[in-house]
Each structure stands twice: as structure tokens, then as C-alpha cells.
């Protein structure tokens, strides 16, 4: 599950949410969203966050080698389904690559930061490109499976790289 900013005429109007496996897309938040929790000038679309975002995390835990979550932030934390799906992912044996918003406060954020096996990197403009490569290499090393078919490996690698590219682009925006 990834989210990306959406701009119209050079102005950010919202954030799109995408399921990397099914390629379903929806709105995480938008300036024209009429209802839902408010974060700044945006209203959070809990329906899409839960039906696309939380569901993508749940399905990834069941079916994928790697679970990508971009991001665990103020908007996402309004959804208990998102938080439950994220906690289940973190408690699973799967490799989880997650972007955690630096200023967000929640028991889930505290849990993520307290995990002994978690590896944390502060993303900056200077290191973001190197981090993408480092994290991709580590993810591939941890998920290598000789019995997997070439097609499956290619799909997993493509999804990992798309997620990491999105995370890198998101870091550019912050």
C-alpha cells in the first residue's frame, strides 16, 4: 500500500492510495472531500483507506513476501482497520518496509519504534537515493526463494521497486 500526492496546476490537492498487488486506487485525502477527519486542508477518505489501504496490507501479509506500507502517518492513524492491519503485518514473520511519519504520535508509532528487529533510517534529501538501493538489496536478500518461479520473482521485485520508488518520491516532498 502506498500513497502519493496529487497535484493539479502545480498545487497539491490530495493524496492517492494504491494497492501494489491489485493496482486498485482511491483517495486517501482530498481538499474537496466533504466528510471525514480533517488534517490541515484535507479530509481523510476513511472508506478508501480501509477498503484499499487496510485491505492491501492484509492481503500482502497473506500472499506476499514483503509488505510495503507508505505511510503510517496522521491521516492513516484515523482508521482502526488500518492500524489493526498494520499491527498484524508487523507481528507477522513477513518483511515489512514502512514509512513512518516523523511527527505522528500514536501507540502504533510507539510500537513500531520499539521493535527490536526494526531497522530505522532517517530519510533526507542527501541519502534518499542510497537508502532506496540499500533497502531494496536487503529486501531481496531476505526474500530470496530458490523454488519461486522467475515470473513470481520478477513481479515481487517490480512491486518492491515501485514501492521503494514511491517512498523515495514521498521523501522528496517532505
Residue with cell 514509512: 99
Distances (CA, A) of 171 to 4, 13, 102, 124, 148: 11, 18, 11, 7, 32
The CATH classification of domain 2-173, taken from the options 3.40.50.300, 3.40.50.620, 3.30.70.1150, 3.30.1380.10: 3.40.50.300
Q: Name the strand (E) or helix (H) holding 14.
A: strand 11-18
User: Any idea where the domains of the chain sit in the sequence?
Assistant: 2-173
* pTM, entire model: 0.80
Nearest to 16 by CA among 31, 28, 1, 24: 28
Cis bond upstream, residue 71 (ω within 30): yes
Q: What is the mean pLDDT of each run of 10 residues along the chain (174 residues)?
A: 96 97 97 97 98 97 93 96 97 92 91 87 87 87 59 48 56 54
pLDDT tens for each residue of 132-171: 899 888 888 887 754 443 444 445 455 555 555 555 555 5
Amino acid at each position: 500500500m502506498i500513497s502519493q500526492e496529487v497535484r493539479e496546476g502545480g498545487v497539491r490537492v490530495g493524496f492517492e492510495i494504491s494497492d501494489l498487488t491489485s493496482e486498485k486506487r482511491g483517495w486517501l485525502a482530498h481538499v474537496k472531500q466533504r466528510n471525514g477527519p480533517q488534517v490541515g486542508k484535507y479530509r481523510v477518505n476513511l472508506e478508501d483507506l480501509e477498503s484499499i489501504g487496510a485491505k492491501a496490507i492484509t492481503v500482502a501479509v497473506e500472499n506476499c513476501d514483503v509488505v510495503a506500507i507508505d505511510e503510517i502517518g496522521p491521516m492513516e492513524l484515523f482508521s482502526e482497520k488500518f492500524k489493526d492491519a498494520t499491527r498484524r503485518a508487523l507481528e507477522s514473520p513477513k518483511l515489512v518496509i514502512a514509512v513512518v511519519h516523523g511527527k505522528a504520535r500514536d501507540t502504533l508509532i510507539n510500537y513500531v519504534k520499539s521493535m527490536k528487529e526494526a531497522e530505522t533510517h532517517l530519510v533526507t534529501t542527501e541519502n534518499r537515493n542510497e537508502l532506496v538501493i540499500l533497502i531494496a538489496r536487503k529486501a531481496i536478500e531476505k526474500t530470496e526463494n530458490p523454488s519461486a518461479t522467475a515470473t513470481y520473482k520478477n513481479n515481487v521485485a517490480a512491486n518492491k521497486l515501485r514501492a521503494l520508488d514511491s517512498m523515495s518520491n514521498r521523501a522528496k516532498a517532505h
